[in-house]
Structure 1
């Protein structure tokens, strides 16, 4: 299998003996992490069950297996390429999301307790009991999917080829689970006593040049023999909402940010001001270009009041991009209605290239579910020790996506799904992967 990038050559990195990198992306969606890998010159392959997301991946030329992540692990693990050595993934987050029902948040204590039992289970029967507890009446079955990366880590160790690096991301409520992962990864209780160095925390994507405020719980890990690992360095200021959010200009906001700086003498070498919606969407084609100032009115209420809709202007980062982004009202400062965000624009606010070939149905949901590729570049570079030069080179070429021929798309469809008898035509586990 190939990707839009040419095959990655062996890398010279600060990671001891990592060599050629090939990434397995679980719950790959339309390809945010795979797009990041492409711009870093790395190979990747994604597992995704949703046919619409797979259509986007095929159109973009991304290596894909259209399958259920759990079925691939339990029934088809040996079909994966032998040279995979990095695991990445963002398990479905609906039950952990603030916007969801909260089932995952209520299950956090249960999940973190079951992690210890998962790594010490000595029989299939013990593993089955864990699955039964996670799917007991009243629990959302999607909650169990946050344990899938750990199961894949253990499966790789038992196959004799442990992953050399791991990158996971989810909504902030999952941070306690990542802390439990970190304890397991570093503690020596994995099969064969394998140990990793790991770090986890909640990161703000606008501090990595993404033109939206999006908070994600992140874990990165590296085999202990490869040395220390650290979360990526922040490159931009955090967005702090001005008192008059709809009226503040970028210059006003920058002055406010600078005033809050702990070291006002280091402004020239400190982080940049966050990237704005206006700057991002001015890069679009003439048909889409938004040259005049505008205000975005959120679809969601603020402070628990559904009528109190948040407002951001075009010289500020966007609200978190979700599958409901098309419901956000866009208007001129004088209240005159303007066209709402298109799918390409929503993708650009997620830092996908403006010409990324969104395909299939539910495209707004695909965009909202994706990992912002620019954020993914920072995560991969940190986890793999690629260095600042490699990082900077990748970030500078993210505006355009390479064209993919229809012949290549058809080849990827055939590789990903064969004659379609192996592809799920509906969610493989009822309600497990349903979107909200």
Structure 2
């Protein structure tokens, strides 16, 4: 057990290095919690969003930073976070994902045993030459960063104190293998961690969306064992909701004064009701005008059944917000018995369904992909709070409209992140 007083972080001054930082989900959480962060992000448009939001950023290849300029990172960074790309670990298809998983497990063991970067890179190139996906290497980067910290003169060879990783549920087996390496074998210098791994539902933490994430939380030995964040909201049970309420199409209306919404019914567990799309979008806030009753039809299979389109009313949480969120069809109320196809979700609304603050300054291209790929900030805040022994956040933590960076602030951030105030430079990664 740690002797840290309640509501005081286990670290005096937490400072997060966010690998594969995207448009800023985890950094937004840290910002609202008063925790500084530095995000590393490869995608140019995601970096433009981050600069506009005022988030400290390096437009960089995560692997290149580790290899070539790790010593330039702030030495006071003590929390490592990230969600590396996951496409190569899907268990679907003809087994390529499972084969990649076995390759990754072997390389995790070799890294923990002290294999050199050169040996690991040679094996990764050999895997790629045999038809492997080059992105397979990226899931190793958090472990390689953790090891590199112990070999960094700029840091005094000091390991990261806390590690927080998240990705889609298919990556849970990778995180479990990480956990075994960090706990049982430890890093090559002998540093060991206490680790917990689980698959969590984001709606149980107040995110107005059903989305499952595989998470790993680790603390360096001596800082106490980490605990998963305690759910603050009830889980959404679609079958139970439909049993009580019928088909979604029958619910395109405002509840009457004597009607108790399904989400508000008490079941005695002490948790708040899950948050619906109406909770997130119904009320005007910032430049968001609010939305009346609506139905949403997603354009991809639901419940794991290809070709089956999920339909939900605004009184339910959103389905998982993906890069296709801009294609979701929204039907709005016209009269008591007529509906019509209304305007689709704006990027501001899509971000709010991910729990981003209203008026977050989405920038660049492929904005819906940025939204869909991001860590839900409220969920990220729960992960950081649990990892650092801080009070759990509430949805209100992220309801205040975001104030974008000034042009001067944006130029300064881009000068640091890209090399000039208004453009990328030769040090920035190229799309190819």
**Which residue of the other structure, out of 331, 343, 347, is the alignment partner of 1:339?**
343
Structure 2: distance between partners of 1:102 and 1:314: 38
Q: Deviations over 1:57-109 (max 9, x none)?
A: 10011000111000000001011111111101011123335899984454222
What is the DSSP-based 3-state SS (H/G/I as helix, E as strand, rest coil) of the residue aligned with 1:153? helix
Question: 2:92 and 2:261 mapped to 1: Cα distance?
Answer: 31
**Alignment partner of 1:110 is 2:78:** no
Q: Secondary structure at the match of 1:180?
A: helix
RMSD: 2.6
Contact 1:61–1:408 under 8 Å retained in 2: yes
Change (3 A) 1:163 1:14: farther
**TM-aligned CA distance change 1:236 to 1:245, over 3 Å:** farther
Task: Report if aligned partners of 2:195, 2:217 keep a CA contact under 8 Å in 1.
Answer: yes
2:292 match = 292
Match of 2:410 in 1: 409
The CA distance in 2 between the partners of 1:98 and 1:338, in whole Å, is 37
Question: Is 1:186 equivalent to 2:183 in the alignment?
Answer: yes
Deviation at 1:132, TM superposition (A): 2.4
CA pair 111-406 structure 1, distance change in 2 beyond 3 A: same
Deviations 1:290-325 (A, max 9, x none): 442111111102366554211111000001111111
Paired with 1:307 and 1:188, the residues of 2 have a C-alpha distance of 45
CA–CA distance in structure 2, aligned partners of residues 396 and 199 of structure 1: 26
Instruction: Name structure 2 gaps, 5 residues minimum.
Output: none
Q: 2:76 aligns with which of 74, 77, 83?
A: 83
Deviation at 1:338, TM superposition (A): 1.1
Q: Which runs of 5+ in 1 are unaligned?
A: 1-10, 259-263, 431-436
Q: Greater CA deviation, 135-144 or 395-404?
A: 395-404
C-alpha offsets along residues 123-151 of structure 1, whole Å, 9 cap, x if unaligned? Answer: 34422333224424332211221111000
The residue number in structure 2 matching 1:222 is: 219
In structure 2, the residue matched to 1:309 is 309
Residue in 1 aligned with 2:64?
A: 71
- Aligned residue-pair number: 406
Q: What is the TM-score when the length of structure 1 is the normalising length?
A: 0.86
CA contact (8 A) 2:360 2:404 kept: no
Q: Is the 8 A contact 1:104 1:143 kept in 2?
A: no
Secondary structure of 1:232's counterpart equals: coil
1:405-424 residue CA offsets vs partner (Å, 9 max, x unmatched)? 10010000101111443433
Assess if the C-alpha contact under 8 Å between 2:23 and 2:374 holds in 1: yes
Q: C-alpha displacement at 1:395, in angstroms?
A: 4.6
TM-score scaled to structure 2, two decimals? 0.87
Q: 1:49 to 1:102 in 2, by over 3 A?
A: farther
